[in-house]
Amino acid sequence: MTVEEIIEGLKEKPGALLPILHGIQDQLGYIPVEAVPVIARELNLTRADVHGVVSFYHHFRSHAPGRHVMQVCQAESCQAMGGVALTAHVKKQLGVDFHQTTKDKAFTLEPVYCLGNCALSPAVMVDGNVYGRVTPERFAQVVEEALEDR
């Protein structure tokens, strides 16, 4: 499905911008820069309006992600249960900061502000799969599993 097809299918919905952006990102993995003027034209918005929404929400990406998207929970429960140290460990092991992709394009690292897995904090999500009680050792297993799945 193309950007134009996604826009066409959703542009008549009330508040169509967010559903269109979600549709594009769900299909392509990101919102291509060249899609912004097309969306703006079809919704009678300015490019700045569309870009403002894309850049405001952390969920949306402007660049293609790595093969695997890894999100580390930053919510209070995860922080209280070792999430700060886990985040530092993850960044060091992957060699990237949030919103960056590893050199081999294997992982894109993103913060997330609740995975709804508070009873099993700290939590990480990789490609939609949630892992709880993640320690540095468990993190290594999660990475290994993701790489095996390709």
Angle between helices 35-43 and 3-10 (to 10 degrees): 20
Give the range of the structural domain holding residue 34, as residue numbers without chain letter: 3-56
Which SS3 state, helix, strand or coil, does residue 99 take? coil
Q: Which tens digits make up the pLDDT trace of 7-28?
A: 999 999 999 999 999 999 999 9
**Alpha carbon 22 to its chain's center:** 11
Residue 63 lies in a domain: no
Residue 145 lies in a domain: yes
pLDDT at 124: 98
pTM of the full structure? 0.84
Q: Assess whether 27 and 88 both reside in one domain.
A: no
User: How many folded domains does the chain comprise?
Assistant: 2
Contact predicate 19/10, CB 8 Å: yes
What 132-140 contacts at long range (C-beta under 8 Å, 24+ apart), as own/partner pairs, is 134/86, 135/82, 135/86, 136/86, 136/89, 136/93, 139/86, 139/89, 139/90, 139/93, 140/93
Q: Assess whether 73 and 135 both reside in one domain.
A: yes
In CATH, what number is assigned to the domain containing residue 143? 3.40.30.10
Residue type, 15: G
Q: Which tens digits make up the pLDDT trace of 40-69?
A: 999 999 999 999 999 998 889 999 999 999
pLDDT at 150: 63
Q: Assess whether 103 and 134 both reside in one domain.
A: yes
pLDDT at 18: 97
Q: Which helix (H) or strand (E) holds 72?
A: strand 68-73
Q: Answer with the one of 28, 56, 84 that is the final residue of a domain.
A: 56
Q: Assess whether 20 and 90 both reside in one domain.
A: no
Q: Assess whether 143 and 98 both reside in one domain.
A: yes
